[in-house]
A and B are shown apart, each in its own frame.
Chain A
């Protein structure tokens, strides 16, 4: 059984190798090879899952060390895997949703020049993501962590000929690297504190390290999580990442990779449990981001960017829950899984809409699409109901629990966090209703598309929306099924809680407000949010060009000016710094060293002479040098 774990990572990695190095022979079969291998890893995952269910709760983890990776002195990093309930959950999510999105891509990328490479990158992503969640030590996790960053970079920039895509890819990698710096320093602190960075010994001895060390490690891990999971202040890359093909947005930038931060914090629960200050930082980041993302999501007219804002916000919920400690870990992961279903479904729906609308992304140019794309409409609609937390659907169960847990934090803090989570729920209902109304309802606001050559066609280029092919609709239907039922299934008899509890631990909080009250309040804010959106976008006609909007709207369209801040401070500042350093290096450092040499030995004169007819005078100099050398040694003989 243990060997299957290694195989699970190896299969998609092999796929990546074959597809990327395989050459043009694989151009036609490539998509199906990639999809097939993703499916194989899903089957392996299910097999391991069945095996795990056959064992009792505390005895479910599997460990396997494949080989010793970096052994230097006391520093030991192994390629070893640890499969427990937490990683199993991720394995099923990654390979399951991953396989569906591979299948979807077969249709979506059918007209692309080089789908082979696309599927190679997707397989590479699967392998790296599986490595991330299966690693049994932080350094191997880091390898997977950077590996998914690479896959994300390659896929965001898949259409490299578009400068905007290339820029977005670079930005994503760089911002992530800032986070990665945090993770790598965290590993260094672990090594100096514990002499190891394997999960088992570090987490078992975390309580002996002292709160100061744990707080430091916790904050550094949080920095890593912020980068990968697009949390404030490292969130700016996610919106731009929508430059990638839509299946990528669904898989990497919604369902799986961006949730890696939540995994990291939950996996390191023993560290955070011992560092209350770090936990406060985590919940603050979560609460701020869930509002930040939601506000940005309200203002975007680009359907994918609106959904990206939503992703940020929903991951904010997960981070918030993870920061609450044992009260929240299970619900963080539960929301992560349900979010994986409905957000992937929503993105695939958005892709389907774009597919039918000549790649138009501006929702103000959609409208009335429900009768043209019925399957897309219904699956997107179910995802919509799930994300806003409509009673009975997946999001209802998982988000409700997080809001409850936030209140259960207790004290003023609990009230603030709970209120933020409730407010977030209201805004979620607002922006998602807006997306829904702008896209599928109202009148048609379709516009002729601008062709690649840049000339707007007079008439013939009006989009002809149509339903997408089967390869695309089947994954959408399956994800919609998950969006509807997953939350309910998980909650029957607290099944999900019992499943994860042996790994993450669980504590019931003492909420000042009852569960029923929280649910009622959530329903109220949900209705308010949806009603406001309906008032604005359902009852009155929507202008095709966006109105100027309030100051807040304008700021939100620009990601609340965070990008402008980055641009002025980091980009401009950095440019000035490097430019002045180039000058300093040339004039000052070089000049001073050369000058010193010149004044000491009159070298500059000799330098000039050497340059003219250099070979001969050089030979003379060498003779001179040799003479000095011999003279010196002879002198030494006398000493």
Chain B
């Protein structure tokens, strides 16, 4: 199948249209339709994984290339490397759980009329986001990537602004005001990033047009031209373009100090949408740093590395400390994510195999662990109608399965060995440490702080005497268990056997490292010979 990549992105897009078209009264049918399309996408992502050959030559596979806007050299070019294929799989795995977890999040209230349609809209928007994220991972044409990088803001904006928790204490108007503030903030931050990136995209075109005769956005073409010496960025130009790209990705990721949109967006939206933000959409930002920032502008990347490492370190510690100080469960998870994004960016700019491989693995593992933690938190919140930690206590006594799975997801978040995030976090740390010992060492403080915010959250909500409002709280239902159990199984499996992923990621990381012209530091003592000899 030569157009596998197009189909993988088209299926959820079609699903979005189909779901939106379901008549108002047949809400349940719309939900099942959305679930079916998301599962079909998962199947296609599986086919991609199966067809992808990690040892094949060349950076991209399953490529498609068509002329699109000839005048500007914009091409419809798709292709995946080991990093993209793994992240597409992550997206495709998570979306069915997002759909399933959000099954009742957009149900009409009793006051709504029979013709109320947002239920369909909710699921259609989720599928729309999935389609755009998938194509952003696949695009190897900078302009094509840019279009979808920006376009995914639209469905996300409506998801954040239009649907929220049915919070108990607040009035519906208050909640709506908060939501729309969060949605606008999300939009403006990301639009600002996008506008700056647009300037850089245009600048890139100008440079290629000037030096190559015909302008191009094709990543492959640009890389080949640079390797052949036909294309050369002046230092200032390269740095300016790098900053333009990086700023947009740093907002999306998000990196300190442009992170403040994330806690608002994640808190005000429903838990499944929060998962979509942090586990899926934000990954496009960190992915794009690896694919575009490092590969297009290697020299500028190295130039900016010290500052970015320090910003990542601040993100790690700052996010974790703020998580400790939160009183709202979802805000706490949002700040924890900021800390984790710090680790991912740290790993990318450590410029070592372990750092970048670990960062890519981290994107996957963070996606799964945060999805688990956030969705279970959502189930908890839906039972009590409050996001405040202080409103809970003693849940483990009345809902032991909910508490137990919450603890496992929490332990994954604090990177306990045996669960997936440990592997990636340790790789990031060791990869950073081998080039920047001080930064790597200080970043390790993050593991203590993570234990603090996770265990304090667990203690305050789940342990202690059973609080009155918690009494009679039902344990996880079958639908909820169907969301939680597979995610936890994945966390366990990838914690013990991450090789299926590292096998995919490794060659792509080696390619990136070669583009940046960096090799891993050599250890002073060659101790491995003995082991080989044994």
Binding site for B on A (CB under 8 A): 20, 67-75, 79, 139, 142-143, 146-147, 150, 153, 157, 160-163, 165-167, 170, 173-174, 177-178, 180-181, 184-185, 187-189, 191-196, 198, 200-202, 204-205, 208-209, 574, 577-579, 581-582, 585, 589-590, 592-594, 597, 601, 603, 607, 610-611, 614, 618, 622, 625, 629, 632-633, 636-637, 639
Contacts and interface: CB of A to CB of B under 8 A. Distances in A.
Contacts of B198: 629, 632
Contacts of B396: 160
Contact of A163 (B440, B463, B529): B463
B353 A74 contact: yes
A196 B527 contact: yes
Shortest Cβ-Cβ A-B pairs, 6 listed? A73-B353, A578-B325, A143-B417, A195-B523, A166-B463, A194-B527
B502 A139 contact: no
22 contacts: A68-B499, A71-B502, A72-B353, A75-B427, A163-B463, A174-B448, A177-B448, A184-B447, A187-B430, A188-B444, A192-B437, A194-B523, A196-B531, A200-B530, A201-B531, A205-B527, A582-B325, A585-B318, A611-B180, A614-B183, A614-B184, A639-B209
Interface string B358-401: 10000000000000000000000000000000000010110000
A387 to B, nearest CB: 34
Contacts of B463: 157, 160-161, 163, 165-166
Contacts of A581: 318, 321-322, 325
A75 B430 contact: yes
A71 B445 CA distance: 25
Nearest to B411: A150
Interface in B492-534: 496-499, 502, 505-506, 509-510, 520-531, 534
B205 A73 contact: no
Contacts, number: 223
Nearest to B206: A639
Contacts of B522: 195
Contacts of A67: 497
A632 B496 CA distance: 51
B28 interface: no
Which applies to chain A's interface (DSSP): helix, strand, loop or mixed?
helix
Interface string B251-263: 0000011111000
Contact of B466 (A161, A209, A603, A633): A161
A376 to B, nearest CB: 32
Nearest to A13: B418
B417 A147 contact: yes
Which residue, A20, A79, A585, A611, has most C-beta atoms of chain B within 10 A?
A585
B459 A167 contact: yes
Interface string B169-205: 0000000010011011101110110010010001001
A173 B455 contact: yes
Given A160-B396, A581-B318, A574 B324 contact: yes
Contacts of B353: 72-75
Contact of B394 (A161, A593, A611, A633): A161
B148 interface: no
A192 B434 contact: yes
Contact of A209 (B205, B215, B326, B525): B525
Given A72-B502, A589-B260, 16 more contacts: A20-B404, A70-B423, A73-B506, A163-B464, A174-B451, A174-B452, A177-B448, A192-B430, A195-B523, A196-B531, A201-B529, A593-B189, A594-B185, A610-B188, A625-B195, A633-B202
Given A67-B497, A579-B325, A188 B429 contact: yes
Contacts of B7: none
A636 B520 contact: no
Nearest to A582: B325
- Name the interface size band of chain B: 35 or more
B448 A607 contact: no
B354 interface: yes
B180 A614 contact: yes
B189 to A, nearest CB: 8
Given A193-B525, A195-B526, A611-B180, A637 B506 contact: no
A368 B530 CA distance: 63
B154 interface: yes
A636 B215 contact: yes
Nearest to A170: B455
B83 to A, nearest CB: 13
Contacts of B259: 589
A579 B321 CA distance: 9
Give the one of A67, A184, A581 with max B CB within 10 A. Answer: A184
Contact of B354 (A73, A143, A201): A73
Task: Output the residue of B322, B326, B462 with the most chain A CB within 10 A.
Answer: B322
A593 B527 contact: no
Nearest to B458: A170
A74 B529 CA distance: 12
Max chain A C-beta neighbours (<10 A), residue from B154, B466, B525: B525
Given A72-B427, A170-B456, A185-B433, A192 B521 contact: yes
B530 A201 contact: yes
B427 A147 contact: no
A500 B524 CA distance: 32
Contacts of A209: 524-525
A161 B427 contact: no
A478 B445 CA distance: 44
B103 interface: no
Contacts of B60: none
Contacts of A166: 459, 463-464
Contacts of B183: 614
A532 to B, nearest CB: 42
A167 B464 CA distance: 9
Contacts of A187: 430
A157 B464 CA distance: 10
B320 to A, nearest CB: 9
Given A184-B429, A185-B444, A611-B181, A618 B157 contact: yes
B205 A70 contact: no
B527 A70 contact: no
